[in-house]
Structure 1
Amino acid sequence: MKDNIDLMKLMQQNFARLSKGQKLIAEYIMENYDKAAFMTAAKLGETVGVSESTVVRFADTLGYNGYRELQNELQEVIKNKLTTVQRISLVDDYSNKENLLKKVFKKDMSNINKTIDEIDYEIFQEAVNEILNSEKVYVLGLRSSSFLAGYLGFYLNFILENVTVVTAGPSDIFEQLLKVTNKDIVIGISYPRYSTRTLEALNYVKRKGCKVIGITDSLISPAAQISDITLLASSNMVSFVDSLVAPMSLINALVIAIGMEKKDDITKYFESLEDIWKKHSVYNSNNKNKGNIKNR
């Protein structure tokens, strides 16, 4: 069996000698390895537009003992995700500066569409209800996910009374989670390469009897294995960064759904806030240049 850390390199190194059909398979896997990992040889062939036998020969060409062995390697790639160095080696497709902007936008759109297609409304509503019925809400996210956690916590604080954003700071995350009880809910946000600290913290609150809502990219991600409720949002981007557009859209939907359940309360709250914002000039109210595009 090939070492899974070399799988993507194997496809690149052998790309020139692949047949036309096999090149289509390689391109599809590099762009959609999370999907390909769970496709049969027949399904992958159908998706790409080649025969099942072409898929099997593709695996043989790369040195695998059949398609099943290659598929196992792909599933390991998903579990461990690619290192930053491996991701950089895969960004040749973005070397054309003229196409880069469109390709990144299209990939973000693809992630949103995939998230829409795969979202389970009943699970989503279950998450909303759990958040509304909990005494306290903790939002946990580290590293790149800290921005998502901060955004979610910022808006939940307008709607709910007891919201705490747990992220790297002066105090250790375990200290911030010390008072968690089984009446609370922890929303854990975890995206590749899955912060070990986040996973340790989620296991910690689980041991305290607290329910966990996981926002992550796959049902086989480490965070999904820990969570009681899992909300999926795709983040695929063949680059050294992840696409967090779909996770942000999911978070927007979550905030709005919770807000609509407490519409009367937040209406009064925002009326009071508007007075405060106006009194303390929180927002710029200078409209002298309104409509004058040149002065914007």
Structure 2
Amino acid sequence: MDNNKDLMKLIQNKFSRLSKGQKLIAEYILKNYDKAAFMTAAKLGISVGVSESTVVRFANELGFSGYPKLQKALQELIKNKLTTVQRLELSNDYISEENALKGVLKADIENIRATLEKINHKTFEEVVNKIFTSKRIYIIGLRSSTALAEFLGFYLNLILENVKVVGHGMSDIFEQMISVGEDDLVIGIGFPRYATKTIDALEFAQSRNSQVVAITDSLLSPLATKADFTLIAQSNMASFVDSLVAPLSVINALIIAVGMREKDKITTTFNALEEIWKDYNVYSYNLNNIEDR
């Protein structure tokens, strides 16, 4: 579907032509679309009282090639609308205290697998090239994405000398980006629920003719609409906690790709840092190292 916002309307328009079993599915989705979005076809069928094949035919009747496409459309529809309380209720339905470890790890494995399939390798290489050709690099990620932005900024700063992490709270975001211009690169990181200030910052960068990279979960993301390059990392999780495993993997890959082009420089840098870390006891060293010193 071109517009996921029309999904509910589509179901309503198709309702009169559906079979009895399909109408039960339609009624359930219209009332509980937030829960249905994270159900397998089999589980949705059990909840409604119809067969799994009826659920698949229902998806086909709506114009989807299969149930996974319908499920994805539902997830796109709700991901930015669920409140934290609603997400907490969902996590209680799908992840129990007994299976939290297994459930979350399996979900993260699926997120990485889906990211590997979805991410555009050509775009990834173009972003790496842009990092090297840009005069300055600004990185912004707010709310739960702050950790990702700080991680990316920490390592890029060890390799390059023109990286600035735009932080929320030190001063206004636009003041920190006051010098951004057409020779610069702005990397915005954001996942549902998308931070408004991050979107505003990317729009501001566009107005200054800067190149913009979005690291986000979908081409339909509001960050992607403000970007010249978009790196997709899936973050689906039926929980009140954002799944940032796949986004962090993409960021790791970006750091390593940049580092591989600057092998000699980072070797020199880390040799110098090792001496500093030892001299000032930055890290705890093993007994052999302590005895040697």
Classify 1:254/1:203 alpha carbon distance in 2 versus 1 (closer, same or farther; 3 Å). same
* 1:73 positional shift: 6.4
Structure 1 contact 137–164 (Cα < 8 Å) conserved:
yes
Classify 1:75/1:257 alpha carbon distance in 2 versus 1 (closer, same or farther; 3 Å). closer
- Does the alignment pair 1:165 with 2:195? no
- Does the alignment pair 1:175 with 2:175? yes
Note the alpha carbon deviations across 1:172-216, whole angstroms, 9 max, x for none.
Answer: 111111111111101000111100111011101110111101000
Q: Work out the CA distance in 1 between the residues paired with 2:62 and 2:267.
A: 51
Structure 1 contact 140–166 (Cα < 8 Å) conserved:
yes
- 2:19 matched to which residue of 1? none
Letter in 2 for 1:8: D
Note the alpha carbon deviations across 1:76-131, whole angstroms, 9 max, x for none.
Answer: 325x3422122122223445322221010000010011111122111100000001
- Once the two structures are superposed, the pairs formed by residues 1-296 of structure 1 within 5 Å of their partners are 1=9, 7-8=33-34, 16-21=47-52, 41=63, 43-45=65-67, 75-78=76-79, 80-287=80-287
Structure 2 contact 216–232 (Cα < 8 Å) conserved:
yes
Classify 1:23/1:276 alpha carbon distance in 2 versus 1 (closer, same or farther; 3 Å). farther
Classify 1:72/1:283 alpha carbon distance in 2 versus 1 (closer, same or farther; 3 Å). closer
Classify 1:5/1:145 alpha carbon distance in 2 versus 1 (closer, same or farther; 3 Å). farther
The Cα RMSD (Å) is: 3.2
Once the two structures are overlaid, the 10-residue window that deviates more, 271-280 or 173-182, is 271-280
Classify 1:245/1:9 alpha carbon distance in 2 versus 1 (closer, same or farther; 3 Å). closer
TM-score (norm 1): 0.77
3-state secondary structure, aligned to 1:144: helix
Letter in 1 for 2:245: V
Task: Return 5+ residue gaps in structure 1 as ranges.
Answer: 26-35, 49-66, 291-296
Equivalences, count: 257
Task: Return 5+ residue gaps in structure 2 as ranges.
Answer: 1-8, 13-28
Letter in 1 for 2:82: L
3-state secondary structure, aligned to 1:114: helix
Structure 2 contact 45–54 (Cα < 8 Å) conserved:
no
3-state secondary structure, aligned to 1:43: coil
Classify 1:124/1:76 alpha carbon distance in 2 versus 1 (closer, same or farther; 3 Å). same
Q: Work out the CA distance in 2 between the residues paired with 1:124 and 1:5.
A: 40
Once the two structures are overlaid, the 10-residue window that deviates more, 165-174 or 87-96, is 87-96
Letter in 2 for 1:279: D
3-state secondary structure, aligned to 1:164: strand
